[in-house]
Amino acid sequence: MSTGKGDISGWLVRRSPWPSWLGLVAVLGALTGHVARATPDGGMDNAIVVRAARAWLEGRSPYDDPHFLYLPGAVLAAVPQALLPPEVLRVLVPAFVTACLVGGWGCALRLHRVPLDSRLAVLGLTALAAGFAPFGHLVRLGNWTATAVLALPLGLLLASRGRWTAAGAVLGTVLALKPLLAPLALLFLFAGRWKALAVMAAVPALASGASALLLPDPAGFLTRTLPFLLHGQDAFVRLYEASLGAVLPRLGVPELAARTFASAACVAGLVAAYRRWGRADPGPLRLSETAAGLMLSVFLVSRPSYDHYLLVVVPLLLAGLPYPGSVARGPWFWLAMVPQLPGLTWPYLETVQRRAFRDAVTLGVLAVTVARRCGPRPPVGPGAPADADRQAAVPGGDHIYTG
């Protein structure tokens, strides 16, 4: 990363003035406070998991609710919430979700060796909270995707420091709650980290198996939830899905053609992610962009695929902004964000049931933008550092790659 005065990255990594932090605290506080006042149960999606835990405490199957799409371990994890009164949940849940999002942003910054007191730290998080609609949606819903938003950059941060087994344990723990980050198993496969991959698979397998034995129907996830997911869920849920397989049929594309196109796009994205990893250039972009490519490729075809899934990858890419050649330095990254501007009404897409079309545009453009990074490494131009591994010191004693 260049930290010279003539480059934007130098300005971004310098210490931020304290008034900027007051603005960030005000934005996060207003969002969390509004959700705490407006949602008596801590958010619609969190309420589904809490109801499942209460059903188990009453001796019923949590999978009686077809919209409970989590692994058995999530039932036990939600039990403490099931024992709390609603007036506590309405404050605790949005605060916890916001804390996960803030923590994920902090880990993404440290992965890219950006100081936590920098301008990018405060301005980037403010932009996500105030200018990226899925951020507010996730806090309002209380969806457990927030744990994945924290775990992905944390796992990559550990991997960047050579602690691959610990990274596998972190990702595996979140997989035991919600299998959203399962595509990252391919990252461990690309890197040849077999022990870490085994840990990542063993943690959710053991947790799910042990938890399932405590449920009235131990195989409920396999016999009820998986068929529900594989058959495209129900008509109501499909209105909110952003994957190509869900959006294209709503535009008149035959179901088979839509699935074929989505699958082909997914495969192309996975190949691009593999090529990105194989480029083996120094610095943190290799990890972050490979991981983002894997997740976006699967989001193109996965059912379900919602707007708040974008929060798994967007902060990770945004944190790489100070690096020349990063995805966030390109115009298409920012164009992909336009449909997610809060408060902007689009003709014919006014209803919430049609926002999936906007989400699909963002998802598709982001996936293509990241996939383009699979090409050959750009040649070093005149005046560029000859040694790509040369490092420059930044405030706080940290070091950032200049390549």
| Tens digit of each residue's pLDDT (9 = 90 or more) over 137-170 | 999 999 999 999 999 999 999 999 999 999 999 9
- Closest among 111, 93, 189 to 152, alpha carbons compared: 111
The residues, ordered by sequence, that sit 6+ positions from 19 with a Cβ below 8 Å of its Cβ are none
pLDDT band for position 291 (cuts 50, 70, 90): very high
The residues, ordered by sequence, that sit 6+ positions from 216 with a Cβ below 8 Å of its Cβ are 56, 59, 60, 61
Residue 111 has pLDDT above 70, yes or no: yes
Average of per-residue pLDDT across 127-137: 95
Q: Are 115 and 1 in contact (CB under 8 A)?
A: no
Q: Indicate the SS3 state at residue 217.
A: coil
Q: Are 243 and 306 in contact (CB under 8 A)?
A: no
288 C-beta neighbours (distance < 10 Å), count:
27
What letter represents residue 203's amino acid?
V
Beta bridge partners of 401: 391
Q: What is the pLDDT of residue 189?
A: 97
Q: What is the pLDDT of residue 394?
A: 36
237 C-beta neighbours (distance < 10 Å), count:
18
Least confident of 128-132, 157-161, 241-245, 372-376: 372-376
Q: What is the pLDDT of residue 1?
A: 56
pLDDT band for position 303 (cuts 50, 70, 90): confident
Average of per-residue pLDDT across 248-266: 93
What letter represents residue 194's amino acid?
W
Q: Are 200 and 188 in contact (CB under 8 A)?
A: yes
> Over the stretch 197-252, which tens digit does the pLDDT of each residue have?
999 999 999 999 999 999 988 888 888 888 877 765 667 777 888 999 889 999 99
Q: Alpha carbon 209 to chain centroid distance?
A: 26
**Residue 252 region by backbone torsions, left for phi larger than 0, else alpha for psi between -120 and 50, else beta:** left
Give this prediction's pTM: 0.90
Q: Alpha carbon 116 to chain centroid distance?
A: 20
φ, ψ of residue 183 to 5 degrees: the values are -60, -20
